């Protein structure tokens, strides 16, 4: 399985500020995904990030609010912009390993964000 790290692991931020979350993978992967998990809830896909192309956003999520970078095959960032308390969630990156036959996705440990 993949070894995925995220930074920061948690943060407390003020309303109106922005936070950039980093996701690092131990090997090259094509598909990376960013999810949001609100307290006690399921996982909701924010966007799919492929290296060399613009991220694809799901309904309800826009690039101005959640800009994503994917500069290479092992790294991605998600920025939560102009934050409000409603953005308080766990943000998770995941990857799909190209060597697996199925759509096996592996998740990072998550970034727990609290917006005051």
Partner 1 sequence: QQQVKQSPQSLIVQKGGISIINCAYENTAFDYFPWYQQFPGKGPALLIAIRPDVSEKKEGRFTISFNKSAKQFSLHIMDSQPGDSATYFCAGPGAGSYQLTFGKGTKLSVIP
Contact flag: residue 13 with partner 1 (CB under 8 A) = no
Among 57, 66, 77, 108, binds partner 1 (CB under 8 A): 108
Indicate whether 67 belongs to the interface with partner 1 (CB under 8 A).
Answer: no
22 is a contact residue toward partner 1 (CB under 8 A): no
Return the closest-CA partner of residue 56 out of 70, 43, 42. 70
User: Which of helix, strand or coil describes residue 21?
Assistant: strand
Which tokens go with 5? 């790290």
Q: Residues binding partner 1: what is the number (CB under 8 A)?
A: 23
Triad 55, 106, 7: Cα angle to 5°: 70
Question: Least distance in Å: CB of 28 to partner 1?
Answer: 16
Binding of partner 1 at residue 97 (CB under 8 A)?
Answer: no
Residue of 56, 54, 58, 31 lying closest to 43 (CA atoms): 58
Place of tokens 């109106």: 16
Single out the residue of 24, 48, 81, 88 in contact with partner 1 (rule: CB under 8 A).
48
Name the residues that contact partner 1, by CB under 8 A: 1, 4, 31, 33, 41-43, 45, 48, 56, 92, 94, 96, 102-110, 112
């Amino acid at each position: 399985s993949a070894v995925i790290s995220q930074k920061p692991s948690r943060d407390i931020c003020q309303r109106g500020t922005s936070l950039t979350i980093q996701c690092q993978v131990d090997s090259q992967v094509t598909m990376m995904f960013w999810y949001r998990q609100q307290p006690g809830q399921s996982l909701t896909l924010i966007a799919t990030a492929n290296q060399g192309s613009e991220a694809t956003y799901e309904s309800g999520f826009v690039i101005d609010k959640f800009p994503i970078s994917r500069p290479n095959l092992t790294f991605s960032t998600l920025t939560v912009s102009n934050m409000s308390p409603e953005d308080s969630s766990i943000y998770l990156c995941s990857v799909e390993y190209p060597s697996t036959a199925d759509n096996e996705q592996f998740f990072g440990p998550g970034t727990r964000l609290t917006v005051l």
